[in-house]
Structure 1
């Protein structure tokens, strides 16, 4: 099951690490302050997901990059419109005369719309952008695929949903057969819906479809990260569409309810509004994050109380 850890300290800029257990592969959501992020964890990050490039969500990109350069790996960066130009500008602001061209490669995926993702490459030492292609999906690897919603924060703010791949389990107790290589063949036939494939078990040949009842499809875990967004119906409609029924969601709850006028002015959410939309999405577990730096620990407790009251409301 995918896991998430907040790597920023209280009252500091936000950064969330998403881990795939037993794989050594990590993803990073936003590049705010990350005192709790180790160098080893940074070097295991294969993809970075930027919600938007306000300074509190992007200021630590250079610190992340500092520990990736020289790895020789390809790292994917996903983000809103113009993310490719902003990353290019950051990298070109340094001197790279001692860096080999194979030191690292960035593949930048610019979210233009729900259906249009532009793919760019950036390589040292000159860091010149190259438009590689356009595609209609954001991210998929052997562990997860990532859906998203483009929210309004007076600029595009991308909310991400990490969906673990479904798994298929074998119900050994009801099979009556000894396990063997045929189990993996049966799972492959099940996943490919090839019911006519022949499966040999203990010198007897069966149609795969006649054995599908021995398998169970297990839905993959869904983990969401919703950063800065205005508390309005336009955003909520998009959130319901993408995050409905998610297992766990971290959601921005920047202001206390008593400061919701500030939330409106600054296109942020507030405690009970974030809790309410998670309730409407029927999310199994929701966590309020990213509180204004003006608040004390007691203010944070007030936000959390209002958030969970709205989230658990019948």
Structure 2
């Protein structure tokens, strides 16, 4: 199960930690101030997902790698165009004469377009970029697959969807057969849509498609994180394409409805606009996040009220 936690207090810049149940590895979305983020949690982060590199989303990156140096792990960093040069510059601005080359390794995945991801390696102490490959997917491990949309914030702003892997349930009571390795073979054929495969059960050979009725696909949990974006139709079409019917989405709602002109000027969203796009996406649950730092708690309540009114409106 995917378990997100907002690690920033009110008037702090945004940072969201994503934990995976029964896994010691976490993911981090954006590197703003995060008073609630512990050193132990930072040291458990295996991948960082940066929406864009405005200072309020990137300022705490130094604090993150400060606690990762020496882990001897490979940490993946995903982000928009030029993210590799920006991280290289941050790392090269320090002196690393006491750090050996195996202290850590960063794998940076630069999102050039929906189909083009450049992959770079950075290692201490010199932190020289090495382009190793270009691929057409962003991130996938044993727990999740991450999809994305490139939104307009007068710069590329990446919105991420964390898709938990689907699970397959076997209905043992309906089979009438003894347990055996044939169950895993059946599941593999089901996952690969290999209907013509044959398996042997208790000395009899069966076509797997005749046994697919014993299996059920359970869709994995889907968590979305949509940071800064202009409230425009082009962005909304991209959001719908990736985030429709997600289980939970955190979405930037930077301004009150009464500050719509500021939202337009600064390529941000506002309360009711964010709520409406979540309604249009038919997501099961949506949470407004990342409010203007000048807002008081009363202002934030106003944002949340307008957001949920638009989201839940019949």
Q: Secondary structure at the match of 2:157?
A: strand
Q: Give 1:66 shift.
A: 0.9
What does residue 266 of structure 1 align with?
266
Alignment-derived partner of residue 232 in structure 2: 232
Aligned to 1:251: 251
Deviation at 1:194, TM superposition (A): 2.7
Q: What is the rounded CA distance, in whole Å, between the counterparts of 1:47 and 1:268 in structure 2?
A: 26
1:131 matched to 2:134? The reply is no
Paired residues in the alignment total: 314
Deviations 1:102-156 (A, max 9, x none): 1111011111111211111100000001111111211111211111111111111
Separation in structure 1 between the aligned mates of residue 239 and residue 273 of structure 2, nearest angstrom: 13
Residues of 1 paired with 2:180 and 2:44: CA distance?
Answer: 34
Offset, 1:54:
0.6
Deviations 1:154-182 (A, max 9, x none): 11111111111111111123222333332
Separation (CA, whole Å) in 1 of partners of 2:36 and 2:157: 24
SS at match of 2:65: helix
Instruction: Tell me by how many angstroms 1:226 deviates.
Output: 0.3
1:100-119 aligned at under 5 Å gives the runs: 100-119=100-119
Say what the alpha-carbon RMSD is for the aligned residues: 1.2
Equivalences for 1:91-240 in 2 at 5 Å? 91-240=91-240
1:274-294, Cα deviation, whole Å (9 max, x unpaired) = 000001111111000001111
Question: Runs of 5+ in structure 2 lacking a partner?
Answer: none
Look up the match of 2:20.
Answer: 20
Q: TM-score, normalised by structure 2?
A: 0.97
Shift of residue 203 of structure 1? 4.1
Give the match's secondary structure for 1:112: strand
The residue aligned with 1:289 is 289
Aligned partners of 1:216, 1:176: CA distance in 2, in Å?
Answer: 17
Q: Could you list the runs of 4 or more consecutive aligned residues of structure 1 that deviate by over 4 angstroms after TM superposition?
A: none
**1:30-109 alignment to 2 at 5 Å?**
30-109=30-109
Using the size of structure 1 for normalisation, the TM-score is 0.97
Residues 209-234 of structure 1 deviation map (CA, whole Å, 9 limit, x = unaligned): 22111000111111100000111111
Alpha-carbon distance in 2 for matches of 1:289, 1:249:
10
Q: Alignment partner of 2:211: what SS?
A: helix
- The range that moved more, 1-10 or 90-99, is 1-10
What is the distance in 2 between the residues matched to 1:43 and 1:268?
32
**Following the alignment from structure 1 to structure 2, what is the Cα–Cα distance between the partners of residues 38 and 259?**
35
